[in-house]
Each structure stands twice: as C-alpha cells, then as structure tokens.
Structure 1
Amino acid sequence: MLRVYTSDHSLYCAKLRILLRHKQIPFEEAPPPGGGGSAEYLSIVPSGNIPALVDGDLVLTDSEAIAEYLEEKYPDRPMLSDTLIGRALSRERSRFSDTRLEPALRLTFPHVAPAARDQVAIKEAHAMITKRLSALGVMLARSDLPRNRLWMGDCGTIVTLEWIALFEGPVIPTLVWPDEVATYRTQMLAHAAVAEEMIAYRPEMLHYMREKGAL
C-alpha cells in the first residue's frame, strides 16, 4: 500500500488526498517520523518536503510530480483529459494555483494572529488575492473543461479557494468573488472526493485559526 507523509493543515497534502480519494487508491497516511526536517525524516525523504509519497523503493515529493505519477500508474478514473488541449488546460490550472493563487494567499499567513498583524501587509495581500481571483475567473470562463468531472488541476485550486474563504473576514477584508469563481467553487465542493476531504480537513483548518487566535 502507498504511504503518504503529511502534516495536519498543509494545503498541498489536502490537494493530494483529494486526488487519492477520487482515484480510489488505497493509502496509509503518517506524519513525518521525528517531525518535518528531522534527521529521521530526512533519511527517508532527503528534501524534507511534505507531502511525500513512498511506493516500494520510490520516494517522491512535490504534489504535482506525485499527481502525475499516480495518474500514469492508476489510469482508471482519469484526472487528465483525453485531448491535448484539455490536458494542457488542467495543467495550467494546477500551475496557476501553485504559483499564483496559493502564493497570494500565503502572503497572509505571517499575519493570521491578530497580535502579529500588519495592516499594510494585509492590504497588499488582499489586493494580490483579488488580482488572482479575477485572473482565475477569466481563465475559467475561457476553459471548456467540463465541471461535472474532477480534473487534476482542480484539486489544489479548490483547497486554496477554501482557505481564502476562511481568511475572508477574520484575517483579510471582504473580497469581491468573480461570479465564475463562485460558481466553480460550488461545483467543485459537490464532487464526492472534495466533499469527503473537506469533512476531514476543515476541522484542521479551523484548529489552525483558533490556535492563532483568529477565530
């Protein structure tokens, strides 16, 4: 059985679990032995990255690399389109989430705790998140990937959107959500694998917020 090393509130771990749930791949989940960055964990996963996948002798990190590997190894319930353009659009959505949308959200993490909050930094983060949500709305409007299917590019995108929604109010001011993004979010949350993951993951998100004093 596959082993996946994860941490409780990691966005990228939730992203990977959605894919595993959707493809119905049995896996066991464990925290990094000795903790992330420990000598014990580094002896297994030299990069120290989380999540990490162990499949026999293979040790693989980076959520996108793991997703691509699992898609090829377990082709049932495919999460990439059978068309060239469809595959490209799904991958584009993944990269946008990882390199544009999530980094905009991450600008807020040093300021989640009210005592450490810098209002200038929060204003800048709000502006960047707004910019990325607007861009996502345009990309979604232009894409013809059916939304009654869950694609690889959706896994990280929906988790990031849920963090943004959670931060809205307690951490950052109210956002203007493009209609296309709001509709997309509702459609993604209706997928069984996403709904199941959020049942398990949302309490971890809320725990993080309470721990920081933001709720």
Structure 2
Amino acid sequence: MELTSIIYSFMTQPRGLFNKEFWDGLSSILIKFFVLVLFGSIVLFILGMAIIISRDKEADYEKKNIKIKVGRDQLDGRKYYAIDFWNCQKNKRKYIEQTYNVGTKLFDKTTVIETGIYERSLLKKEYRFYSQYIGDQVRIEGDIIGRDKITNSGIQINNIQNQIPDDITEAIRSIAKNDKITRNDRDEIMKILNMIQDGQYSEQKNQTMIDILSKYANVISSVAGIIGTLKEWFVK
C-alpha cells in the first residue's frame, strides 16, 4: 500500500519527480529492502557454516573421495598437489595434514618433500604438498643403500655420515626459500647444504641445522618432520 501511495502521489502531484515526499518514501523502501537482504544473507551464512561444521565432525575422510588439484608454483614452476578446505573444517584439515605429510608415498609413486597452507580467501585455505620421485633402495655391487642405512653381507650400519638422502636435502632447500626464513638463517642453511654435497657434513653441523629449523617449526608445517629425521641421523 505504501508503494502504491507513493506512485499515486508521483502521478498526481504537479511537481512529479521532484516531490520530496516521493523521494523520502522511496528511500525508506530501499533501506528496508537492503536491511532485509543483509539480514537474510547473514542468516544463510551462519546456517551454511553450521552445516559445514556439523558434516565435518561426522565425516570419515578415509572413506570420502577428497578432490586433489594439480598446480604449478608461480615462483619456481614446480608441480604441486593441493586440497581446499574451509577454515572451520578442523577435522578435514587434521586428516589431510596427517595423510599427506613429508615422507608420504603418493599414488604416482612420488614422495612428499614439502607441505604448506595457503590462503584461498577469507574463509578458505589450501593445503599444498610438493613431491618428487625417490627410489627406496639402490643396489650397487651387491650392497643395498637405503635412506639412512647400508646393509652389506648381513651387517647393518645405521646413520651413515655424509649420506643425507636427496629428498631430505631438497626439502630443506625448499624450506630455505620460504619468505619466513631470515636472510642469515637462509645463508647458513645453504652453506650447510653445500657441505653435505662436498661430503663435509658433521654431527656439529647437523645440530646447527636442527637449531635453525627449530625456530620455524610452528610457522612452516614441513619443518617438524625434517627435524625428526635429522635428530636420528647421528644417534649412536
């Protein structure tokens, strides 16, 4: 009725479009309309988040077919896999972090060497993991050289000095490129990596590497797994 009255007033008043009563009435209707739309959007948003949280708590992600995307890093062109999740999906995030952590063997026979979480939007994030092909064992003249041991004639020698696996060094190299690493720490990491290549890696340098990486364990997700591996390297 209010809208009909305004239209009637517009049609009958000689001042027409410049009638103050008309514009006041139209403004009132528009304000009410936008308030109603805004309120409805907020209600729908809250309901949507509540549904996502409820489904996330009940979901068994081991049985769900989680969509994995493939992309290319804009900085270095490396291939990566990614899984999207809403900020409120704590159960899904926990599952993918445990399932696709550093050292995980993937469906394409590559091994995860680096992981990270990236912002997709205000409410959405992306769990990204990089991988590369790493052979489990290399047989040379009857000896089996594995990730951190050499077996020769039934004798197993653990934690061989200077034989850090390529997947570990590559993962550390990737971490060093992260913007969160300070310049001094980055330079020291690269210096130690060069020592590994030159066969000059020592228990002391191993501890230095652990100390540096430990600073970033809470801000770079892949660091914890690397530290765990390095701590076992010179165990006697």
Q: Hey, which of these two has a bigger chunk of strand by percent?
A: 2
Which interval holds the TM-score relative to the shorter structure? under 0.3
| TM-score normalised over the length of structure 2 | 0.25
**Larger Cα Rg: Structure 1 or Structure 2?**
2
| TM-score normalised over the length of structure 1 | 0.26
| Larger relative contact order, structure 1 or 2 (CA cutoff 8 Å, min sep 6) | 1
